[in-house]
A and B are shown apart, each in its own frame.
Chain A
Amino acid sequence: MEDRELLKVLRQNPENGIRLVMKQYAALCYYIAKQKLLDFPQEEVEECVSDVFLAFYHQYTAIDLERGSIKGFLSVLARRKAIDRWRRLAGKETLPLQENITASDSLEQQEERKILLDAVLALGDPDAKIVILKYYFGYPTKKIAEIFGLKENTVDQKVRCSLAKVKTILEGGAFHEG
């Protein structure tokens, strides 16, 4: 179902709308959460995905389809909810990440995000997509191999190689800020 139709159903009948959005995107959010919460029990992952859709239920009116998509909005929400939970479970810190995902952050953070984006894009296709599917979206290697018509060990090799390149660029490359 198209995003516009989903938003229309959400406005007319939020509960039905949420069910449709979950049907379409629960697995996407699940793998994002699972990737961050690998060391914790399965219940935590499931609760985290439920948190994502509850937050989406509160925030979907903020989605601007001119600027983004439900898929993008949910992906960021899932990642942030997962990090928040990971920090709590690991006893790292109690301050949650900015939950309002439409809010802007500091200039320094914006700069760092841009540098990383450029570094990943510099890998070219399909390596850039493969590394993000693996490290952001948590896709299993088998699924990535299917998508790109590659062998599983080729995918693993590409991920290792891409990661090394990104780190090299970030640590001393052309994007280094004095």
Chain B
Amino acid sequence: MKADWEEILDMWEEKELAHFLPECLPDMDDAIYQRIEKQTLRRIRKERSRINRKQIAAAVICLVAILGIVGREPIQAAFEKLFHYLPGAGIYTNDTENTMYRAEMVIDHFEENGVQVRLKNVYGENQMVKLEVELHGDDLSEGILEEQMENSPDVFLKERYQTVLFYGGTEQTLVAKKSSWITEEEQVPQFSMGYEVQVENPAKTYEVHIAGFDSVLSFTLVPDTGMVQPENIGASQTKNGITVTAGAEVTDEGIWFEYYVLSDETVAETDTEHRFSMITIPYGYFRWDDVPEAEYYQQRYLKNCKGEILYPKDLYFRDDVENGERILYEGTAEDFPLTFYQAALTGIGEERETLKIPVPVTSEKLEKTIDFPYGMVTLEQAQIHPTHRESIKEMEIIYRIQPKEGKRKMYGVFMQVQEAIRKGSNELTIFPEEDGTYHFTANISAETKEITLELYDPYYWIVDNYTLVLEEPKETK
């Protein structure tokens, strides 16, 4: 044996360890547990906020690429021209420069060999055709999947199930821009792929052929000037420049409910978990531990005519669509009229402010204020804490956020210290202490005399709730 026994023990995997897994688990000091839990959840939330920021950055890059423009002002202008696609209703847009196309479905679904295939989120924008294909079936994994990556949601279809788009005499094999795979015990597996295809003039009829299936999906794209209004899908309410619109249709499965949030601002709407943790702040401070599941439904819920909250039928009867969601609820036509409630939404600004702060020996008052459109940040105190390494110290900034008068109220801001030892020690602090102060910390070298503090992407909530009444279901297709 080359290795020492303990080194080999280090290499043991689950299969060796399975013989010795203890049934009786140890206890640990509660204070230590609390510290570990707090630290871990903070890191997870921080990662999520970074992912959010990446998504925003990706949207900006995408818009720059589409419009062929660069620089801050054009990017802002591009955001202002964001259009909104409402499946089943068309396009709602104030954009006069881009040409949009809505889809008229010819065949949007079929079932073959026990697999349901569905076409969704189809529309065109300038020379780009966008579509999603969703497959749903019991033997999906055995039947059509080539490979699923370990530790990754990425999956690949077998070659014989390639997707090919036919239009105007052209045949184009599609490569998915995104894919998602849902599978769980006792659930029918579901796989979806998103495609984008460059077409000179999208106003055509298209056929989607998926190898392995005889049936074909088909749709026609027609130019859309944005005349279809969001009210047409059911009910709609506009407040503070944000439109919330919703509709519902009754099927054999239950009530298919859809809602959309239409805003020219960057709204932290799509990440419900992140938004959930922030949005409740105006309603009072809470610890994550204190949030019961029912609280979730206070942010957005659907009630029937008796005032009872309806619950989604199952997690997987839920589609993320452009600007919103489609969710299947338990219920029938007897439940109408339905009331849809959407709590105040969160917006994210693009401002960035930088300032220098001397590193104190132990503690120093700061009294610096930074003005943002919807609130003032006051830095009150800088403190130095020792760490277990002599060469590193922790600098803590204590600050407050005072929202301004108006319908948009700031409650959080990202911070970053340029000199921080670990890059990525940027943080959006969303939970104030009980005295109303926020605390931001960064590890810096013991040699650092001055830090450069950046404050960016202020978060603000847009003070207004939305209540929509859906008098009757839409006509069932």
Contact = CB atoms under 8 A, between A and B. Distances in A.
B1 interface: yes
Interface string A139-162: 110010001000000000000000
Given A15-B41, A135-B6, A136-B12, A43 B20 contact: no
B150 A22 contact: no
A94 interface: no
A166 B5 contact: yes
A167 interface: yes
B3 A102 contact: no
Contact of B8 (A15, A31, A116): A116
Interface in B52-100: none
Interface in A121-178: 121, 128-129, 132-133, 135-137, 139-140, 143, 147, 166-167, 170-171, 176-177
Contact of A46 (B20, B22, B36, B185): B36
A36 B39 CA distance: 21
Contacts of A177: 1
B41 A19 contact: yes
Contact of A19 (B27, B37, B277): B37
B22 A50 contact: no
A109 B26 CA distance: 30
A171 B1 CA distance: 7
Contact of A135 (B9, B26, B288): B9
Nearest to B387: A43
Contacts of B150: 62, 100, 102-103
Contact of A75 (B2, B17, B45, B152): B17
A28 B151 contact: no
B151 A58 contact: yes
B11 A139 contact: no
Interface in A94-114: 97, 100-103, 105, 108-109, 112-114
A167 B14 contact: no
B16 interface: yes
Nearest to A98: B11
Contact of A26 (B37, B43, B184): B37
A54 to B, nearest CB: 5
B44 A57 contact: yes
Given A19-B41, A50-B43, A100-B150, A116 B5 contact: yes
Contacts, number: 166
A5 to B, nearest CB: 10
A31 B20 contact: no
Contacts of B1: 112, 115, 170-171, 176-177
Contacts of B37: 19, 22, 26
B273 interface: yes
Contacts of B40: 18, 22, 49-50, 53-54
Interface residues of A, number: 77
A47 interface: yes
B33 A137 contact: no
Contacts of A167: 5
Nearest to A52: B40
Contacts of A46: 32, 35-36, 39
Given A49-B36, A50-B43, A113 B13 contact: yes
Contacts of A129: 20, 22
29 contacts: A12-B315, A14-B273, A15-B288, A22-B36, A26-B28, A28-B26, A30-B28, A31-B28, A46-B39, A49-B40, A50-B39, A50-B43, A53-B40, A57-B44, A59-B151, A61-B152, A67-B14, A67-B15, A69-B14, A72-B21, A83-B10, A100-B151, A102-B150, A113-B11, A121-B19, A128-B20, A136-B17, A139-B26, A170-B1
Interface of B: 1-3, 5-6, 8-22, 24-28, 32-33, 35-37, 39-41, 43-45, 47, 150-153, 184-185, 273, 277, 288-289, 315, 387-388
Given A116-B9, A140-B26, 5 more contacts: A24-B25, A27-B28, A100-B151, A108-B2, A121-B19
